Amino acid sequence: MSFNIDLSYIRSVIFKMMPPAAQLTRLEFEGPEIAVYVKNPQFLLEQGDIVSQIAKLIKKRIVIRTDPSIRKQGKEVIEYIKSVVPAEAGIESIELDEVLGEVVIKARNTQLVEEKANQILVYTGWRPKIIRSPPMRSRVYEEIMSGYLSESDYRLKFLRALGEAIHRDVLLAKNGSNYVRLTFLGAAQEVGRSAVLVETAESKILLDFGLNPGRGLSPNAFPRIDLIGIDPEDIDAVIVTHAHLDHAGLVPYLFKYGFNGAVYMTEATRDLTTLLLKDFLEVTEREGVEPPFSLRDVEKMLLHTVALKYNVVTDIAPDIRLTLYNAGHILGSAIVHLHIGNGFHNIVYTGDLKFGKTRLLDRADYEFPRVDTIIMESTYGATDQPRREEAENELLKIVLDTYNKGGKVLIPTLSVGRAQEVMVILADAMRQGKIPKIPVYIEGMVHEVTAIHTAYPDLLSKDLGKRLRGGENPFDFETFVRLEGREPRTEIVESPQQAIIIASSGMLTGGPAVEYFKLMAPNPNNSMIFVNYQVEGTLGRRIRDGAREIAFVNEKGKVEILRVKMQVYSIEGFSGHSDRHQLLDYLRHVQPKPSRIILVHGEKNAIASLANEVEKRRKFLGIGDATVLTPNLLDSVTLAYNM
């Protein structure tokens, strides 16, 4: 019923298998990993294989760390690295982390550094941590990295405490009693405030913890953890599927109210989420709204984050193993697989899912070791989307038409994902001469996000990754202009030069997109193109649904009516979500077949319609008599129990 991790077994395997010459001094937990401290890392050069053999046997990741006594002086270390790594690696910086005994090497070509890693460790006594230096520089990315370096002490303490918590013996599940119970704290019959609580006899894990952007900052915009008698401090871990506010937006809020556990996500999600949250804080501050958490909480979140790669199994609790898979939705987006209690139950939580190739990403993974319950998003459960090429052609046509009228195009986008998708399309179209080479203005936030994209070529589609690694920047073109401040907006809008503006937020809930909208709306030659889903309750949704008179509070505090004369378009085919056909196709592909399908993250109609379709097409989908559930807010479902 439980893993019952046998620590003495792990210990004895490591002590027996490590070469005596390594001079092992101690073992430490570091979060889900085991740090093996040695006085003589020389063995790595001859018997490097032994580490992965041990790791395989004990089913744990191992980090070899050096005893502080053998670490060489900083100057010597830097000189050695520079001498041994070829210049083509493009090393940009070398920094020492005294706490961990790591040397952080930032390079444009990480592969060339990687090849010398063991050699550097053995010679200098410092463990290389190799970081990609992306073609576009991201301020946030750099802040995160230097944050980890300066808070290395706190971080190590946290990881050791986390390691102890993960590897403790099971308590309650020992007598064979166990259970797995889900509670839907949000995103049930709605899009927004995604949050699923997973409880077992041993653990409480949150899958996402976002806000509903259509509901301001009222209690009903938050996952209703306040109503189920659980304090944030009772939660063991949060798993964030991807960097959108409706999934990740309130993780720092948990820290503010006492959460002290780990946050698991991919590196890209970590970076993008940090960026989004900082922007969220700036926007709320600018609007004079009390934010639900502070920058300190965001920083604490970062220090408690354990970044994971796709397809790597990680222990996150005494009875739970986590694996992240590509979800195809945005950069770093993950499908969560939980293996609970040695086969007691297996959960797949799709987060937001794209089961189709986009410009940015490959389609979502669908093969898992085991699946009992799948929790699937249903955003487009009721509708099919136009094909991608049609959507691209429509976008280019509107751009061309607006150009011919002498107008400008505003594309409000989610800064993460859709903006980059549009940028790649526009850049390629201009390169290929399909549209004129006019300025494309990109606001700072979108630019930051794009820069982060360039740091993770491995997470992008095979095609984009290859172009990036080959030195090309597919997100850029000669007419692209990065905007830093707010000043030139009026100039841009009033200039006779046709242009395209890409700005967030994608649902006009705030940010520069709203400012541009106000400036551009009165001119009937201008166009606004929505390229993403518009959540109920947002300004974007109202305009998409036909509203043409919008009340604003102007700078003098008075209400002003804005008459929308610009053309408003909504192109559906760019979605990072699967449409109905793709959702069904995903269920048809997913392996092995689940016995329970739970539909979340969709408006009431979308979920009902999808559930109905799934019921009708059981045979085609190959799901046998699997139960189909469409939970309401606060519903709890016990997936398995023995008690």
* Alpha-carbon torsion (173, 209, 603, 607), positive or negative: negative
CB within 8 Å of 36: residues ≥ 6 apart: 14, 18, 24, 27, 51, 62, 63, 64, 65
- Is residue 589 marked as binding? no
Residue from 171, 227, 289, 547 in contact with a second copy (CB under 8 A): 227
Range in contact with a second copy (rule: CB under 8 A) among 95-103, 328-336, 451-459, 628-636: 628-636
CB of 167 to a second copy, least distance (A): 24
Spatial CA neighbour of 581 closest among 634, 621, 608, 543:
621
Structure tokens at 130: 């190799």
Asked if 547 is part of the footprint of a second copy (rule: CB under 8 A), the reply reads: no
Q: Which is nearer to a second copy, 189 or 505 (CB)?
A: 189
Per CB under 8 A, 538 contacts a second copy: no
Which residue of 75, 83, 219, 619 would you call a contact of a second copy, by CB under 8 A?
Answer: 219
Q: How many residues bind a second copy (CB under 8 A)?
A: 22
Say whether residue 625 binds a second copy (CB under 8 A): no
Tell me how far apart the alpha carbons of residues 468 and 640 are, in angstroms, rounded to a whole number.
46
Q: Does 303 bind a second copy (CB under 8 A)?
A: no
85-93, 511-519, 585-593, 633-641 -> range binding a second copy (CB under 8 A): 633-641
Stretch of 107-115, 173-181, 253-261, 342-350 lying at the interface with a second copy (CB under 8 A): 173-181
Q: How far is the CB of 224 from a second copy (least distance, A)?
A: 7
Single residue of 220, 570, 595, 612 touching a second copy by CB under 8 A: 220
- What is the distance between the alpha carbons of residues 253 and 232, in angstroms, rounded to a whole number? 9
181 binds a second copy (CB under 8 A): yes
Residue type, 240: V
Which DSSP symbol is given to 291? -
- Does residue 536 interact with a second copy by CB under 8 A? no
Q: Are 448 and 275 in contact (CB under 8 A)?
A: yes
Q: Which residues, in sequence order, are CB contacts of 530 under 8 Å at separation 6+?
A: 412, 506, 540, 544, 568, 569, 570, 571
How near is the Cβ of 257 to a second copy at its closest, in Å? 15
Instruction: State which of positions 184-203 bind a second copy (CB under 8 A).
Output: 199
Q: What DSSP line would sit under 36-52, residue for residue?
A: EEES-TTHHHHHTHHHH
Question: What DSSP string describes 334-377?
Answer: EEEEEEETTTTEEEEE--S---S--SS-PPPP-B-S--SEEEEE
d(CA 64, CA 25) in angstroms, rounded, equals 11
Among 12, 177, 311, 495, binds a second copy (CB under 8 A): 177
329 carries a ligand binding annotation = yes
447 is in an annotated binding site: no
Q: Does 146 bind a second copy (CB under 8 A)?
A: no
Among 230, 396, 550, 562, binds a second copy (CB under 8 A): 230
Strands 636-642 and 627-629: unpaired
Q: Output 52 or 642, the one with its CB closest to a second copy.
A: 642
* Cβ at position 634, least distance to a second copy in Å: 4
CB of 184 to a second copy, least distance (A): 9
Is residue 623 within 8 Å of residue 587, measured between CB atoms? yes
φ, ψ of residue 357 in degrees (nearest 5): -75, 140
H/E segment holding residue 275: helix 267-286
- The conformation of residue 308, written as its DSSP 8-state character, comes to -
Confirm or reject binding of residue 224 to a second copy (CB under 8 A): yes
On whether 247 is known to bind a ligand per the annotation, the reply is: yes
Draw the binding track, 407-446, toward a second copy (x: CB under 8 A; -: no contact). ----------------------------------------
Give 433: exposed, middle or buried? Use CB within 10 Å, 0-12, 13-18, 19+: exposed
Among 179, 259, 403, 517, binds a second copy (CB under 8 A): 179
Which residues, 347 to 366, sit near a second copy by CB under 8 A?
Answer: none
Compute the least distance from the CB of residue 110 to a second copy, in Å.
46
The C-alpha atoms of residue 474 and residue 469 are separated, in whole angstroms, by: 11
> How far is residue 530's CA from residue 509's CA, in Å, rounded to a whole number?
13
- Which amino acid would we find at residue 468? L
Q: Is 605 among the residues that bind a second copy (CB under 8 A)?
A: no
Burial, 589: exposed, middle or buried (Cβ in 10 Å; 0-12, 13-18, 19+)? Answer: middle
| 601 labeled part of a ligand binding site | yes
- The one among 76, 233, 234, 615 contacting a second copy by CB under 8 A: 234
In this complex, which beta carbon is closest to a second copy, that of residue 204 or of residue 565?
Answer: 204
Which residue in 146, 404, 554, 636 binds a second copy (CB under 8 A)?
A: 636
> For the purposes of burial, counting CB atoms within 10 Å of the CB of 257, is it exposed (0-12), middle (13-18) or buried (19 or more)?
middle
Figure out which of the listed residues 20, 229, 496, 546 binds a second copy, where binding follows CB under 8 A. Answer: 229
Using CB under 8 A, list all residues that contact a second copy: 177, 179, 181, 183, 199, 219-220, 224, 227-230, 234, 632-638, 641, 643
Q: Which residues are annotated as a binding site for Zn(2+)?
A: 242, 244, 246-247, 329, 352, 601
Q: Which residues are annotated as a binding site?
A: 242, 244, 246-247, 329, 352, 601
